[in-house]
């Protein structure tokens, strides 16, 4: 298990858990980022990520991405 920020561009992983505050968890759930969901990194710009989740592109800042634990 590793933070999403460690996932290389082009790789796919599964969201394992979120270690963020409850409000951030609710925000991510609204975007469809839930445990058990496949996620892949499309691009990395200054630490911020553009990810693909359920066919949608979502931008996440580095702080939030570090709190998402994924498993390859």
Name residues whose C-beta falls within 8 Å of residue 12's C-beta, 6 or more positions apart in sequence.
Answer: 38, 39, 40, 72
Cα distance between residue 41 and residue 29, in whole Å: 18
Structural domains in the chain, CATH included, are 2-71 (2.30.30.90)
**How do residues 31-70 score in pLDDT, each as one tens digit?**
899 999 999 999 999 989 999 999 999 999 999 999 999 9
Q: What is the pLDDT of residue 47?
A: 87
Q: Name the DSSP class of 37.
A: -
Alpha carbons 30 and 58: distance in angstroms, whole number: 12
pLDDT tens, 9-20? 999 999 999 998
């Amino acid at each position: 298990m590793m933070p999403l920020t460690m996932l290389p561009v082009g790789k796919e992983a599964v969201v394992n858990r979120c270690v963020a505050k409850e409000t951030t968890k609710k925000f991510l759930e609204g975007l469809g980022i839930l445990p058990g969901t496949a996620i892949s990194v499309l691009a990395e710009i200054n630490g911020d990520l553009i990810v693909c989740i359920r066919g949608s592109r979502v931008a996440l800042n580095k702080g939030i991405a570090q709190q998402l634990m994924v498993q390859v």
